């Protein structure tokens, strides 16, 4: 499995599944979530309403509609408080559940954002370490390529540095 770090807009990535860093309602929000909902179109919101939300650390799948992907895997990352409230375990669970869903839907190429590092304030270096370690150690059968798509330069540089250390 190949992991690569990209700086850019996840809604522009052509792949089998795009991961949405969603909120518990799955009904859209800011950041990555809002961008994905805007690009996918109103059909995504209509399908998300049928899912009745998602627990933190879990993942649910919808069609991608107007995105250049087949599926959107919605996951809810933890809000970072102080690192003492199972945030790391819940963030790791997001990546694992997304990979489980990608495997279930036989996705070969999946694109992740930096989950929980925006409005949920997870420290980027800690989140990147969890993401890279979890993704590298997951035994994938179908997934052959993972893109971690970083919106800003600081997040991109942090992920690149950590991936090189591995």
**Which of the residues are catalytic?**
33
The two tokens of residue 82 are 């102080």
What secondary structure does DSSP assign to the chain, as a single string? Answer: -EEEEEES-GGG--EEEEEEEE-TT-S--SHHHHHHHHHH-HHHHHHHHTTT---BT-EEEEE-TTSSEEEEEEEEPPPPSSS-SSHHHHHHHHHHHHHHHHHHTT-SEEEE--TTSSTT---HHHHHHHHHHHHHHS--SS--EEEEEESSHHHHHHHHHHHHH-
């Amino acid at each position: 499995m190949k992991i690569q770090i990209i700086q850019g807009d996840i809604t522009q990535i052509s792949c089998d599944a795009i991961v949405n860093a969603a909120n518990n309602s799955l009904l859209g929000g800011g950041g990555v979530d809002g961008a994905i909902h805007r690009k996918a179109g109103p059909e995504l919101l209509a399908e998300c309403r049928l899912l009745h939300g998602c627990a933190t650390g879990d993942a649910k799948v919808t069609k991608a509609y107007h995105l250049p992907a087949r599926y959107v895997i919605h996951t809810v990352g933890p809000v970072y408080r102080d690192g003492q409230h199972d945030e790391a375990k819940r963030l790791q669970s997001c990546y694992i559940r997304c990979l489980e869903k990608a495997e279930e839907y036989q996705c070969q190429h999946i694109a992740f954002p930096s989950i929980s590092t925006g409005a949920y304030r997870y420290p980027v270096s800690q989140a990147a370490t969890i993401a890279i370690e979890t993704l590298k150690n997951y035994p994938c059968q179908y997934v052959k390529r993972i893109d971690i798509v970083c919106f800003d330069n600081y997040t991109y540089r942090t992920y690149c540095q950590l991936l090189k250390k591995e």
